[in-house]
Amino acid sequence: MKKLLKVAGALALSALAFSSCGSSGKKTLEVFSTKPESISTLKEFAEQFAKERNDGTVVTVVSPADAGTVLRARLAKNDIPDVIMMGGDSNYTEFGSSGVLMDLTETDFINNVQENYLKMLYDINADKSKKAFAIPYATNASGVLYNKALFRKAGVSIPETWTDFMSAIAKLKKAGIQPFELTFLDSWTCLPPWNSMAPVIAPENFTEDRRNGKTTFAATHKEVLEKYLTILKNSQGSDFMGTSYDEGNKKFAQGEAAMMINGNWAIPEFIKNNPDIEVDLFAFPSTDNAAKNTVTSGIDVCIAISAKTKQAELAKDFAAFLVRKDIAQQYVNEQFAFSAVKDVKQNNKTVEGVKATIAAGRVSDFPDHYYPSGYDLATVLSKFALNYANGVDDAKNIAETLAECDAQYDAVNDR
């Protein structure tokens, strides 16, 4: 999940240790999670794993604020956690290619995982090899979250094409309903509109061609930003730059807007603020070709093991435990995620709208997972949105933003 936590003391660790025995000489395993939201669930799993083994095993779950920075600092000191639960993004690419992570390709438990999510990992390997330096575990879905009651009030049905989308926006406005709530005070929330449109609108081989210097954002992503501006123009006005994720979630939950472009991870926040909200999710209709439009779904959490761990077999046993169907089902239920584990389903009615799309294979990975480490697209898009709010000419804003995309990409692309 792209959700950032503003927690004081970025280097402070929250560690929870569990064991079934108080004697000395126990086997110990450290599990490092980059997703602090999952700490309570991982606590349960650590406790259950130790209980099932009944051999004095101790599992310590570490979930720091600013996890990426903490993990890099630890790697620099050669202090590598036994198990690392991380996103399937450029950090995975970097760590896997540098020999930090164990190759799990030949493990038995990899067979519990859906092939399409394994392919996502293969695609972001530095050499594109079919090697799994982690096991895909939890996945997510991003698109258009919508208030079903407000759609009914305006007589709007789920749009499947861009033209339908524009018609839906017009109907909502005619009914006096704000189409979009944006929360760009938190810059990471600038990413979902891009991540929804870019995989569909950009050329199919863009990621590889851009990495090899054969194309540019300027040559391929103009339409993405033109449509992005449409979203900005139909939100809460210039105030979107001053609205935080938490504040926007509250406003959306109370019915102040019909749509929000984000992922399934936001739904529990809506329900916390309004248990009666009728919310669902649909694929962002990026183009007028309905069959081409996709749900953005990627690997939110994968399970990696240190190549240098002294507890290799114990770490693999814990990974096998996590991908067990009953444990994986508990994870998606408690964390409101989707699963990369075979036959594990997310059955919550609030994501009913994307089930058929996902089942039909109309899924794209988050494109920013394929950009080089250090490429700060969120900041670029935040500046783009701020320029619009400050009245910068649209054509000028688009051209300058795409030029900045290319300049930043080239600065960190080591191919």
- pLDDT per residue as tens digits for the range 305-324: 999 999 999 999 999 999 99
The alpha carbon of residue 119 and the mean position of all alpha carbons in its chain are separated, in whole angstroms, by: 17
pLDDT of residue 6: 36
Considering only residues 13 and 255, tell me which one the structure prediction assigns the higher pLDDT.
Answer: 255
- Whether the predicted pLDDT of 357 surpasses 60: yes
Residues near 113 by beta carbon (within 8 Å), at least 6 away in sequence:
135, 136, 323, 340, 341, 342
pLDDT average, residue stretch 350-368: 83
- What pTM value is reported for the model? 0.79
Lowest mean pLDDT, pick from 39-43, 165-169, 361-365: 361-365
What is the pLDDT confidence band of residue 25, given thresholds at 50, 70 and 90?
low
The strand pair at 28-33 and 83-86 is best described as: parallel
What is the average pLDDT score of the chain?
A: 90
Helix (H) or strand (E) holding 412: helix 394-412
Residue spans of alpha helices (H) in 98-161: 115-124, 148-154
What gap in Å lies between CA 101 and CA 125, rounded to an integer?
12
pLDDT of residue 271: 92
- Whether the predicted pLDDT of 191 surpasses 70: yes
- Whether the predicted pLDDT of 2 surpasses 80: no
pLDDT average, residue stretch 161-184: 98
What gap in Å lies between CA 318 and CA 59, rounded to an integer?
9
pLDDT of residue 4: 36
pLDDT of residue 401: 98
| Contact (Cβ atoms closer than 8 angstroms) between residue 297 and residue 141 | yes
What gap in Å lies between CA 55 and CA 58, rounded to an integer?
9
Share of the chain above pLDDT 90, in %: 70
pLDDT average, residue stretch 190-219: 95
What gap in Å lies between CA 354 and CA 87, rounded to an integer?
22
The two structure tokens encoding residue 85: 């639960």
- Whether the predicted pLDDT of 336 surpasses 70: yes
- Whether the predicted pLDDT of 341 surpasses 90: yes
pLDDT of residue 9: 37
Neighbours of 410 (CB within 10 A): 13
What gap in Å lies between CA 65 and CA 35, rounded to an integer?
9
- Whether the predicted pLDDT of 5 surpasses 60: no
Nearest by Cα to 2 from 325, 300, 315: 300
| Contact (Cβ atoms closer than 8 angstroms) between residue 68 and residue 91 | yes
Lowest mean pLDDT, pick from 137-141, 258-262, 359-363: 359-363
Q: Is 213 exposed, middle or buried (0-12, 13-18, 19+ CB in 10 A)?
A: exposed
Residue spans of alpha helices (H) in 143-286: 148-154, 162-174, 191-201, 206-211, 217-220, 222-233, 245-253, 267-273
- Whether the predicted pLDDT of 250 surpasses 60: yes
- Whether the predicted pLDDT of 292 surpasses 80: yes
Residue 210, amino acid: R
